[in-house]
């Protein structure tokens, strides 16, 4: 039976579901999955899935400074954790395979956070006035 072509459904969420479903038939890397994220919340969701893919044994084997937080609630936490991992990997954890895997993923995740946040308009603070633009 010839393999059928995957048709790209409309909408990013449908595309992400297709990528995740097709992962059983072909290899999709975490970096490729991160590249589909268009919002910080999507990066957080993919990150939670990545952490959930680790066994408790693998997580426990990470050095204490590299243990992931209980949950990622803000995209900035991804960036901070990526920095922690890479810093440790460049020092005492240079030969630790688990630290390398975690640092590789979180480096990609931090980069995607920067990309999607640069596309997001800055929220207006409660004490900040919104400029009124007059149409001349």
**23-47 pLDDT tens trace:** 555 788 999 999 999 999 999 999 9
Cβ distance 117 to 75 under 8 Å? yes
Residue 72: CA count within 13 A, CB half-sphere: 28
* 62 found inside a domain: yes
pLDDT at 1: 46
The verdict on residue 99 lying in a domain is: yes
In a domain, 40, yes or no: yes
Q: Which pLDDT belongs to residue 7?
A: 45
Residue 44's pLDDT is what? 96
Residue 125 is given by DSSP the state P
CB 4 within 8 A of CB 26: no
- Please, are residues 30 and 50 in contact by the beta-carbon 8 Å criterion? yes
Stated pTM of the model: 0.68
pLDDT tens digit at each of 136 positions of the chain: 444 444 444 455 556 666 666 555 578 899 999 999 999 999 999 999 999 999 999 999 999 999 999 889 999 999 999 999 999 888 887 788 999 999 999 999 999 999 999 876 666 667 666 566 666 5
Identify whether 13 is part of a domain: no
**What residue numbers bound the domain in which 114 lies?**
34-118
Residue 93 maps to a domain:
yes
Phi, psi of 55 (to 5 degrees): -80, 160
Q: Is residue 9 part of a domain?
A: no
Q: What is the rounded CA–CA span in Å between residue 88 and residue 96?
A: 10
Domain contains 100: yes
Domain count, the chain: 1
The neighbour count for residue 65, using CB atoms within 10 Å, is 13
> Is residue 46 in a domain?
yes
């Amino acid at each position: 039976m010839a393999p059928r072509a995957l048709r790209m459904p409309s909408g990013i969420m449908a595309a992400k579901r297709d990528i995740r479903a097709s992962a059983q038939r072909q290899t999709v890397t975490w970096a490729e999955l991160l590249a589909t994220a268009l919002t910080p919340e999507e990066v957080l969701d993919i990150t939670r899935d990545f952490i959930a893919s680790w066994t408790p044994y693998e997580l426990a084997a990470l050095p204490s400074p590299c243990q992931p937080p209980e949950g990622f609630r803000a995209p900035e936490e991804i960036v901070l954790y990526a920095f922690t991992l890479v810093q440790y990997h460049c020092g005492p954890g240079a030969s630790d395979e688990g630290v390398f895997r975690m640092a590789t993923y979180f480096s990609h995740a931090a980069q995607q956070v920067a990309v999607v946040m640069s596309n997001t308009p800055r929220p207006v603070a409660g004490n900040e006035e919104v400029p009124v633009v007059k149409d001349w």
